[in-house]
Amino acid sequence: MPQVHIVAYCVDLGYGIAPGADMIALMTGAGVVSRLLSGYLADKIGGVWTLLIGSVLQCAALFLYIPFNGLASLYLVSLIFGLSQGGIVPSYAVIVREYLPAREAGQRVGLVMMSTILGMALGGWMSGLIYDLTGSYQAAFLNGIAWNFLNMAIMVFILFSGRRSRPAIATGI
């Protein structure tokens, strides 16, 4: 949601377009760092734990957008958001590989990525609709927080359902 609406949010707050564009660049750059760190973390603790950590941090960043609307604080929250969200989507592919047979990985990863992209598109659209209905981004941020709680609940369920992921097999390559 922030990546789609941060420019409009900055305009609404009176900061103009340029700071919002800078914040998108900051989120994107931090997202690259997040993908690298999340890949390293997934290798160490697994995809589900990595996704759960990323979701908790992303949820916290979304929450921070609500009370903090100063320019400096928006840059900081945007950095936190970028650092948290970048590794979430790649974690789904890791989870598929950890929990499903290799012969199903291509089909399942494709399905998961399609669902993720549709969810992100719906989230951006829904946030705009919520803004149109309420005249405020606060409810849109709360909507994003609620979806993060759902994602976190699913990850906790997976972690504590008793089903263990398959151990990684060293290929020697």
Residue 85's CB is within 10 A of a number of other CB atoms, namely 25
Residue 23 · residue 10 · CB < 8 Å: yes
What's this model's pTM, rounded to 2 decimal places? 0.83
pLDDT by residue for the chain (173 residues), tens only, comes to 888 889 999 999 999 999 999 999 999 999 999 999 999 999 999 999 999 999 999 999 999 999 998 999 999 999 999 999 888 888 998 988 888 888 888 888 888 889 888 988 898 899 989 999 998 889 999 999 999 999 999 999 999 986 655 555 444 44
**CA distances, 115 to each of 62, 122, 137, 144 (Å):** 21, 10, 25, 16
**For residues 95 and 158, what is the distance between their CA atoms, to the nearest angstrom?**
10
